[in-house]
Structure 1
Amino acid sequence: MVRKIGFGLIWLGFITYAFLFAPPNDPNTSELIKNMLVFQWEGINPLVIALFNLLGIWALIYTAVILMDGRGQKVRAWPFAIASVGVGAFAILPYLALRDPNPQFEGKKSLLIKILDSHLTGMAAALIAGALIVYGLQGDWANFVQQWHSSRFIHVMSLDFCMLGLIFPSLLGDDMARRGWKNHQLFWLFALIPFFGPLVYLSVRPPLPDTEIKN
């Protein structure tokens, strides 16, 4: 219960900060998002483009964990997974506040879970993330810092990226247990390496068991 209350308070605090204390909303934000979605990147700082797309990689990472975790939960995981594509940690934090510990997986794996459980998915995500980071490093850091201080979208997007990294270990232990992988050293390795720790984990974790549901 303490764990659930803690995540609930973090979620409320994050929302409060984003809407009351973050920099004001830039009137050009909607146009910026639209242009990034349709790949009209001319004139946009590569750092902003990279960060925006790396949040999509985070959504994939979390989807590849919480859909398995959701099997056996009272709360369905898929609405939170879908919402995380658009709002990141604002969708994951309430799931963490509502879920119960779940170190088991029972039943047949669906096609989607098989795809997300594949090492190829993790490796592809890691390669795309690496390419995005290389692209982003060509950006203008001074301009990014200026936007971080003046644009709510850039400011909150940056904090969202960091928050997703901080809360990932809360799901990692159960996911390793579902796979019979009990190694505390590897847990901390995957948990403490920023961003790429979870991607390496998806690329090397043992597959889930595929068993019939017991009556």
Structure 2
Amino acid sequence: MYYIFQLAPNQTPYRDTYFLQKLLNLKGDDGFRMNEVLVALWYIMGLWPIVYSMLLLPTGRSSKSKIPVWPFLVLSCFGGAYALIPYFVLWKPPPPPIDEDEIGQWPLKFVESKLTAGVRFSFTSLRFTLYWVIIDYFFQIILQVVFALGIGLIIYAGKAGGDDWKEFIRYFRESKFIHATCLHFTLLSTFSPFWVYNDMTARRWKNGSWLLPLALIPFVGPSVYLLLRPSLSSLLAASASPSDEIQK
């Protein structure tokens, strides 16, 4: 935070305000063309909260602290990595065990669904979960389109011309807003492989170890892991089978 407020470049505060208004659709079409890389980065930052929600709930809960994780996840929709770092500092392993009754609760059904794992867009505070459950049938097709749009953002930035990338680098050197956004993206990308490993360990998914190097790829790696990981309910079923056989 000290770096952002005191050391980060701040040569264009008025332009930063203008960019923020454009990205929030608070300004109409005035003929100005927004930088494509900046637009893609802005919307991808809106996708990170749902990725972290599915990595931290429930396997990222702290075992030696009663501090809940969900307030930090909600705040991360606005504060990015800085809202999650305090929880990371307070977090103590291992996470508490998950039982069958907890799996049945609707927040976990939401974050455990493969459909939700395919959705990476900025709608995603946990308070909207009930809404998604109620009208899930009507939104399945829309959600698949949204996921395609999320992948499209990466392609959109990748296909930006050289002039756009040069312009973005210049913005990065001049703008506190863009500098801070890039730093947030870097921090979220840096922390995510650890939480992929933590989630994989909690699920006892040894066959997924090949995904750990992939998790180093910003945003894409954790998203692929979430799509492929086994559900907690299947883990409980596998754990229950040996005990059932012993009883027989």
Scaled by the length of structure 1, the TM-score of the pair is 0.80
In the aligned structure 1, how far is the partner of 2:91 from the partner of 2:175?
33
Residue number in structure 2 paired with 1:113: 108
- Identify the match of residue 152 of structure 1 among 170, 173, 176: 176
Say which SS state the counterpart of residue 96 (structure 1) adopts.
Answer: helix
Please say if residues 119 and 205 of structure 1, whose CA atoms lie closer than 8 Å, have aligned partners that are also in contact: no
Matched, 1:177 2:217: no
Matched, 1:44 2:30: no
Residue number in structure 1 paired with 2:22: 35
Equivalent residue letter for 1:138: A
Cα offset, 1:151, TM superposition? 0.3
1:39-118 mapped onto 2 (5 Å cutoff): 43-68=33-58, 69-70=60-61, 73-103=65-95, 104-106=97-99, 107-109=101-103, 110-118=105-113
Equivalent residue letter for 2:218: P
Equivalent residue letter for 2:221: G
In the aligned structure 2, how far is the partner of 1:93 from the partner of 1:115?
24
Bigger shift: residues 177-186 or 154-163: 177-186
Say which SS state the counterpart of residue 21 (structure 2) adopts.
Answer: helix
Cα offset, 1:182, TM superposition? 2.7
1:185–1:179 distance in 2 versus 1, CA, 3 Å: closer
In the aligned structure 2, how far is the partner of 1:35 from the partner of 1:196?
26
Residue number in structure 1 paired with 2:154: 133
Instruction: Tell me: higher relative CO, structure 1 or 2? Use CA pairs within 8 A at least 6 residues apart.
Output: 1
Equivalent residue letter for 1:70: R
Matched, 1:143 2:134: no
- Identify the match of residue 123 of structure 1 among 115, 118, 123: 118
Cα offset, 1:112, TM superposition? 2.8
- Percent identity between matched residues is 32
Say which SS state the counterpart of residue 192 (structure 1) adopts.
Answer: coil
Computed over aligned residues only, the root mean square deviation of the Cα atoms, in angstroms, reads: 2.4
Structure number with greater Rg is 2
Scaled by the length of structure 2, the TM-score of the pair is 0.70
Say which SS state the counterpart of residue 13 (structure 2) adopts.
Answer: coil
Equivalent residue letter for 2:116: T
Q: Unpaired segments of 5 or more residues in structure 2? A: 121-146, 237-248
Bigger shift: residues 169-178 or 185-194: 185-194
- Identify the match of residue 199 of structure 1 among 223, 229, 238: 223
Residue number in structure 2 paired with 1:21: 7
In the aligned structure 2, how far is the partner of 1:61 from the partner of 1:78?
13
Equivalent residue letter for 1:120: L
Cα offset, 1:192, TM superposition? 2.2
Cα offset, 1:177, TM superposition? 2.5
For 1:32-59, what per-residue CA distance to the aligned partner results, in whole angstroms no more than 9, with x for missing partners? 2232123868521111111011111111
Equivalent residue letter for 1:191: A
Matched, 1:209 2:203: no
Please say if residues 76 and 84 of structure 2, whose CA atoms lie closer than 8 Å, have aligned partners that are also in contact: yes
Please say if residues 215 and 222 of structure 2, whose CA atoms lie closer than 8 Å, have aligned partners that are also in contact: yes
Cα offset, 1:144, TM superposition? 0.5
Cα offset, 1:131, TM superposition? 0.5
